[in-house]
Amino acid sequence: MKHTTVYIPIFLSESVDQLLVKEVCAGLEEEGVPFACKQISDEGFSFTSLQVSILIRNEHAISIFHEKLPNRPYLIERKQNGRRAGQNAARLVKGLPLFLEEEYDDRTEFRDS
Amino acid sequence: MSRQLIAGVDIGNSSTEVAIVEVCGNEAVFLTQHLVPTTGIKGTVTNIKGIKSCLQLAMSKINRTISEINIVRINDAVPVIGDLAMDVISETIITESSMIGHNPDTPGGEGIGIGQTILIEQLLQHAEENKPYIVVVSKKFDYEWVAYQFNKFERQGIQIKGVIVQKDDGVLIHNRLQMKVPIVDEVAMIDKVPIGKKAAIEVAPPGHVIRMLSNPFGLSTVFDLTPEETKQVAPVAKSLVGNRSAVVIRTPAGQIAERKIESGSITMVGNRMSVKVDVNDGADEIMESYKKIGVLNDVQGEQGTNAGAMLNGLRQDLAEVTDQTIHEIRITDLLAVDTKIPSSIRGALAGEITMESGVGLASMVQTKKTSIQTVSSLLEKELGVSVEVGGIEAEMAIAGALTTPGTERPIVILDMGGGSTDAATNDENGTIRTVHLAGAGDMVTLLINTELSLHDLELAEKIKKYPLGKLQSLYHMQLEDGTYLFSEEPFPPEAFGKVVIREEKGITPLPIRHSMEQIRTIRREAKRKVFVTNAIRALEQVLPTHNIRHISFVVMLGGSALDFEIPEMINDELSKYGIVAGFANIRGTEGPRNAVATGLVLSTLKRRDDRI
């Protein structure tokens, strides 16, 4: 694929829950990385110059792929964690530490009293 | 001539080492050696377990068993033992919750907003026009809804100057606002934000830090304060320095006081004089005074103060491990270091921490003569091999160190272990002088643990021992010196983007947000404060002339001489005095390890020499 634009593509199959897509987009927006939704074609999915792509298929968990590791997803997120999936894809581009299960919870809980 | 197997066993504060040699007449061949952590306090029968397993492991390397050993020689451990204490001497308290200062990764907008705090639900019911508000939004509200309401308020002529949000959606709200205002998000304890009070909010542009709220006069401008009040809020400004975003809320009764805990004083009793030093004066002052008093006989802390509590704690610990009463404990050496201890600010709203000043003390006490005879006879029973107690530890260490190629008598050795820093000299006449100083590897670990608030000594130990790296992509990391390292396999997601410890067998991601540079600085400073200080102190004390310019060579030994940067730091410092320092290479192969164990077996050969 020709790298023409700078954004993270979100590849969707035809009947993915729109609320989930919105959450993933919110995660990307909060981290300030551009994104665009696309349909999964028969050829599968591709990468942009940001090298990270998100895949959301009907019956599957959310997968985040990196161009340098195209054969398996680098991260897999459950569908209830759409926001985090978006944030992590963005942070993968930015080179920042990812939010993983326990750590993420820490951030919203009370730390000290 | 009969062949004999002789084992030298060195019991140290933190590790037990053995060297095994086969002796035939005057010929000695080193067969094997091993090292295990010391079990129990050195010089007590609890060591036997460690000695036995160490011997077993060493012998199994050459496919032989302990029963084949003819003589085991153990060292007469020096009867000194050390302990550490660390405490804060200042504390910042916010008597009424009145500030938020933190670094969320993604705050919204930028600039400064000033207004009265109000909950978004209150604003819906009753809002006044021409009155500036700072709106507080708890996590139960969705960003779309919040942004919609704000845009509606704006059309109604209600002035919103800033927003405090509990969830991580500052940017999402900001992107949807028609009137852009600064937004601070990820404020965990939002229910503690005082409502109906005047507040100021500041978000710095990306790559910058706040300037207004971290400046005492900025605060006085914003809140229209008198000089007296400005003095009171100065600690708030101080603790906000370096943040990307902050909120300061003025509560009329709100007061922040930097209260000095009564840190008290310590009295050092020397053979020449006694000196009383205030702990607040800092480590340098304590160490300067120490130099004046000659040989230290004991240290006492002022009762009812932090210093008193610290020294009593040390005595208590040492009394327990050495099986003496608390009154028998005499502190014979003391090392004080200044430290910064991150402490959570009491009354803070987002888990803010501030760096409080603290002091760390390492101390050394004389114990009763260790019961090495008891250990040796019990060991003899346990192993079924004859055990003898070798000579003085320092003499053995020197004998071992002299197996380093290129060394000769007179020699000065600097033994940097886990519990103590020792030095010994041996002149042409064979006269040996030794010193045992408090503070070594364990103190460095404690400093790292405290200054990074890790609460994990094992991790602190790893940070001490290994260099760092910062993962920058799936396949490459930047090293401390700016060079890059590539990996065949992608790094795991848990480590991505983080600062990691580069061990031989893999990487350990650090669970802290400090930059690689900050961690490196803390690590190196901790090593410098303990080892460089102690190297100079040890050499000054061990030399008959007390002037370290009178020597030209120093051989470094012990576990900390294996460190990847300590020998270089000491070498750097000693080169100023024209001294060549380097770490030993025992028997030309073992590096700075195994000196005492080697000395123990070699000393049997010498005795045979004497007999001939």
Query: In Å, what is the CA distance from B280 to each residue of B89, B148, B270, B302, B438?
Result: 7, 55, 21, 13, 21
Indicate the average pLDDT of chain B. 87
pLDDT at B95: 54
| Rounded mean pLDDT, B487-513 | 93
Helix, strand, or coil (residue B84): strand
Whether residue B497 and residue A98 make contact (CB cut-off 8 A), yes or no, is: yes
Q: How far apart are CA B591 and CA B604, in angstroms?
A: 22
The verdict on residue A113 lying in a domain is: no
Residue pointed to by tokens 């007469």: B76
Instruction: Please state whether beta strands B296-301 and B265-270 pair in parallel, antiparallel, or not at all (unpaired).
Output: antiparallel
Helix, strand, or coil (residue A96): coil
The verdict on residue A2 lying in a domain is: no
Confidence of residue A109 (pLDDT cuts 50, 70, 90): very low
Q: What is the four-CA torsion angle of B525, B528, B531, B533, rounded to 10 degrees?
A: -120
Question: Which CATH code of 3.30.420.40, 2.30.40.10, 3.10.180.10, 3.30.420.10 fits the domain covering B1-77+371-402+594-612?
Answer: 3.30.420.40
Instruction: Tell me the percentage of chain B whose pLDDT exceeds 70.
Output: 94
Whether residue B175 and residue A74 make contact (CB cut-off 8 A), yes or no, is: no
Instruction: Tell me the percentage of chain A whose pLDDT exceeds 90.
Output: 57
pLDDT at B611: 42
Count each helix (H run) and each strand (E run) in chain B, helices first: 16, 30
Closest CA to B428 of B540, B544, B548: B544
The verdict on residue A1 lying in a domain is: no
Task: State the total domains in chain A.
Answer: 1
Question: In this complex, is the C-beta atom of A67 within 8 Å of any C-beta atom belonging to chain B?
Answer: no
Out of B10-14, B26-30, B50-54, B252-256, give the one with best mean pLDDT. B50-54
The segment(s) of chain B belonging to CATH 3.90.470.30 are 83-91+260-366
Where b means 16+ CB within 10 Å and e means fewer, A22-40 reads ebbbbbbbbbebebeeeee
Nearby residues of B41 by Cβ (< 8 Å), 6 or more positions away: B81, B321, B322
> The CATH number of the domain where A104 resides is what?
3.40.50.10150
Contacts of A112 in chain B (CB under 8 A): 344, 348, 351
In terms of residue numbers, what domain contains A60? 8-108
pLDDT at B561: 92
Query: In Å, what is the CA distance from B409 to each residue of B207, B402, B412, B595?
Result: 59, 8, 9, 16
Confidence of residue B94 (pLDDT cuts 50, 70, 90): low
pLDDT at B337: 93
Whether residue B106 and residue A32 make contact (CB cut-off 8 A), yes or no, is: yes
Question: In this complex, is the C-beta atom of A112 within 8 Å of any C-beta atom belonging to chain B?
Answer: yes
Whether residue A30 and residue B472 make contact (CB cut-off 8 A), yes or no, is: no
Confidence of residue B348 (pLDDT cuts 50, 70, 90): low
pLDDT at B122: 93
Query: In Å, what is the CA distance from B321 to each residue of B61, B137, B299, B368, B371?
Result: 34, 55, 19, 12, 13
Tokens of residue B490, six digits: 């992608």
DSSP symbols for B269-326: EESS-EEEEEGGG-HHHHHHHHHHT-SEEEEEEPTTSHHHHHHHHHHHHHHHHHT--G
Question: In this complex, is the C-beta atom of A31 within 8 Å of any C-beta atom belonging to chain B?
Answer: yes
| Rounded mean pLDDT, B482-491 | 93
Contacts of A85 in chain B (CB under 8 A): none
ipTM of the complex: 0.84
Q: For residue A56, give how far its alpha carbon lies from the nearest alpha carbon of chain B (Å).
A: 19
The verdict on residue A18 lying in a domain is: yes
Give the pLDDT confidence of B317-344 residue by residue, as tens digits: 778 777 778 888 888 899 999 998 887 7
Out of A27-41, B373-387, B516-530, give the one with best mean pLDDT. B516-530
The verdict on residue A23 lying in a domain is: yes
- Residue of A32, A68, A98 with shortest CB distance to B496: A98
Give the pLDDT confidence of B531-571 residue by residue, as tens digits: 999 999 999 999 888 888 888 889 999 989 999 999 999 99
- Residue of A30, A95, A109 with shortest CB distance to B172: A30
Least confident of B206-220, B420-434, B498-512: B420-434
Confidence of residue B606 (pLDDT cuts 50, 70, 90): low
Confidence of residue A104 (pLDDT cuts 50, 70, 90): very low
Whether residue B348 and residue A112 make contact (CB cut-off 8 A), yes or no, is: yes
Give the pLDDT confidence of B149-201 residue by residue, as tens digits: 999 999 999 999 999 999 999 999 999 999 999 999 988 888 888 899 899 99
Whether residue A29 and residue B171 make contact (CB cut-off 8 A), yes or no, is: yes
DSSP symbols for B361-389: EEEEEE-SPP-HHHHHHHHHHHHTSEEEE
Out of A99-113, B87-101, B218-232, give the one with best mean pLDDT. B218-232
Rounded-to-5 percentages of helix, strand, coil across chain B: 35, 30, 35
Confidence of residue B251 (pLDDT cuts 50, 70, 90): confident
- Structurally, at CATH architecture level, domain B442-458+467-513 sits in Beta Barrel (2.40)
- Phi and psi dihedrals of B93, rounded to 5? -125, 135
- Tell me which CATH code domain B83-91+260-366 carries: 3.90.470.30
Q: Tell me, what DSSP letter sits at residue A41?
A: B
Contacts of B497 in chain A (CB under 8 A): 91, 94-98
**pLDDT of B252 strictly over 70:** no
Question: In this complex, is the C-beta atom of A100 within 8 Å of any C-beta atom belonging to chain B?
Answer: yes
The topology under which CATH files domain B97-254 is Glucose Oxidase; domain 1 (3.50.30)
